[in-house]
Amino acid sequence: MKLEELKNSPTSIWLDDLSRAKITGSDSHSLPSRIATSAVVGVTTNPSIFSSAISSGSEYSKDIKLMTGSSVDDVIEKLTTDDVRAACDLLYPIYKSSNGVDGRVSIEVDPTLAHDTQATINAGQKLWKIIDRANVMIKVPATIEGLPAITALLAAGISVNVTLIFSIKRYGQVIDAFMKGVQECSDPSKIHSVASFFISRIDSSIDAQLKEIGSPDALSLLGKAAIANAHLAYQLFEEKFSSPSWKTLEAKGAHKQRPLWASTGVKDPSYPDTHYVVELIAPNTVNTMPQSTLDALIDHGVLRGDTVTGNYQEAVQVLKGLSDVNVSLDNVTTELEIDGVKKFAQAWKDLQKNVEAALRS
């Protein structure tokens, strides 16, 4: 795929990966190279990414040794915020040229705080202050307890990436929390936000149920639920951000909270490896993808223009089909949120154990 085709896509391409090797490396997979040749205009991170990077990357050994005597959490905070700050600096020209829309780097608050509103607010404010870059976004899980934290951080002038959104109902609550925060912010023109709507995990869970049912009607729905769910989320985005209440905020300088398609690496090898990219192209959206998906997109991806707008009735039929074969999307999305928080918390605990071992060595 040609670079210009990627750049001209209405969906911004962000890389769901970060490590010190990517920041400082000189190979084709380095962040500077990806920015220059692959139309990457943003970066997202999560506890699993940091756990993998720090646990296996020798580039961190020197810093860890220099912090002997420090607490494990202090070491993790320094390593992760140093990396995010460096990535923010690399992407700053894009941040400036896009008027703050892209050129963003996201870092998540400690995921073990996902059900503690005030602790999440405190952690978000601390990360914002430590990194001290205008183009950083603080990631907050879209738990019930996370919603008021999202509002509070935005009201304080902090840009937020809302993560772990699986259901359309919860997405609506996220948008409401965002609009409330924007309304309470003294200068909404300075804040930006994205809402990270998770994709592939929904198909993984629902497909397993459809295969177990095994009927022709059930099997005909394989691989369709996640895209349909995302399409209807985008319909809600269009509705919410064309409302009179939003128009009032927009007149004060507020920016739309863009949907961000996350978890877009294909887990079922029987599906095209660019499936969760090419079927989710629409204006005012972001797709954050792992390295392997980005490589596949560059190698053989085919963009067909906007593949979301206008497909809502078909999406409604997919969800009706799921209900007809007794598959509950609501139950699946509820379970995925709980599981997502647990997985990120476990990745953080694994990272703590690895750093503790490195400090002792």
The pair of structure tokens assigned to 329 is 């999307």
Q: Is 2 labeled as catalytic in the residue annotation?
A: no
Tell me the DSSP string of 108-147.
EPPGGGTT-HHHHHHHHHHHHHHH--TTEEEEEE-STTHH
Hey, which residues does 71 pair with through a beta bridge? none
Hey, which residues does 129 pair with through a beta bridge? none
**Residue 193 contacts residue 257 (beta carbons within 8 Å):** yes
The one-letter amino acid at 212: E
Q: How far, in Å, CA of 148 to CA of 155, rounded?
A: 10
Selection from 167, 212, 175, 221 nearest residue 337 by Cα: 167
The pair of structure tokens assigned to 247 is 């128009």
∠ CA 138-104-282, rounded to 5° = 105
Selection from 47, 59, 57, 64 nearest residue 358 by Cα: 64
Identified catalytic residue from 139, 224, 240, 256: 139
Q: How far, in Å, CA of 297 to CA of 275, rounded?
A: 10
| CA distance to 49, 50, 88, 147, 262, per residue, from 31 (Å) | 15, 15, 11, 32, 19
**Residue 60 contacts residue 20 (beta carbons within 8 Å):** yes
Place of tokens 């709980």: 338
Tell me the DSSP string of 157-188.
T--EEEEEE--HHHHHHHHHHHHHHHHH-S-G
Residues with active-site annotation:
139
